[in-house]
Every structure is written in structure tokens, then in C-alpha cells.
Amino acid sequence: MVHERPKADRRLVQIVDAALKENAARCGDWLACRPGCFQCCVGVFEISHLDAARLQEGLAELERMDPKRAAAVRKRAEDSRRRLRENFPGNSRAGILNEDEEAFAAFGNDEVCPVLDPETGMCDLYEHRPMTCRVFGPPVRSDVGLGVCELCFIGANEDKISACELIADPEDLESKVAKEYEKKWGRKGRTIVAWGLRI
């Protein structure tokens, strides 16, 4: 069952996408992200249940528009869960990660995102992708500093990288909307795409 997302999530997606569009113009050729570039789609990463709801909504929409492609996404997700289940760092039945960052760091680093179409190198649920995917590429600040995709900003100095920093959600609307979603539907913790796609 696809749970309805808070109305504010649509605004959040618009804010982040607009910030990314403006940032991409500022970054210019330093930003190597292009259709068919999918290095960032290899290796599992944490997503919120709100991200999972977006993915589920996208998969349901794809099911209506292109059942064959949707079935392929479902199959890739099922295969991914089967491969990852034994070493899942958390509750593999529920798909909820524990908070052990060290265990997660060594988990699924070679696993390809099940939403990636292996034939085209494109995301089958691009419009419904998680926030992490939306902001990957440009320089983004985290607890450990300013991170950037290793394929982008090759040869750029720190000043150029800093000038292109992406501030996608300056008012931290994402955490507010995610908390609202979790409270309404009783979804807690973090998961990964393969488990987030289960409907």
C-alpha cells in the first residue's frame, strides 16, 4: 500500500529541484553528471521512509504507464533484497537499518540500485528519486566537510568548489516533512532503496 505523502513534500521536491537547477548552471562543465552516468547508482545508501513513499508512488505510476518496466524494477529490487538480506545491518524483515554506521559502511558497496535500468543506464523512477539522489554531484556540506562526486570538479581548486556549494534545503524542510510522514504512518528509522520499493 502506497501511503499518501504530506502536501509539503511536493513543495520540498520543487525547492530542491530548483536549487539544483540553479546550482548546475553555476557549476557549468565542472559538473560531470549526465544521462547515462550512473557511478552514484552503485552502492547502497540510506533513505527515509518519505523517500521510500516517493519511490513507491513512482513505481505505482510506472505500473500504470509501462507494466513491463515496472515488473523489471520489482524483479531487480527482489533480487537485490535476496543478495543483501544475510548481511543486512538491521532488521532485514522490516528493512530497517540499525544505527551502526561502521556496519553500514561495509555493506552493499557493489550493489547496483534496483531502480537503475541496466540497459539504458537511466533511472526508471527519476522523477520520484530520493533526496540523496537529487543532490548528488554538486559540492554538498556534511558533518565531515564539503563532499563532491569524484567525477566532478576534476582539477578545480577549493575556492571554485566552495563557490559551487549546493544548499538545497536551507530551512531543513525535509526533516520536518519526514517527521510528519513518520508520525502519520508510524514509519520509523531508515531503509535502503531495495526495501523501500516494497509495496
Q: Rounded to an integer, what distance in angstroms lies between the CA atom of residue 171 and that of residue 168?
A: 9
C-alpha cell at 127: 522523477
Grid cell for residue 69: 518496466
- Angle, alpha carbons 14-138-152 (nearest 5°): 145
C-alpha closest to that of 106 among 21, 44, 159, 173 = 44
Could you tell me the pTM of the whole model? Answer: 0.91
- pLDDT tens for residues 99-128? 888 888 889 999 999 999 999 999 999 999
> Which of the four pLDDT bands, split at 50, 70 and 90, describes residue 147?
confident
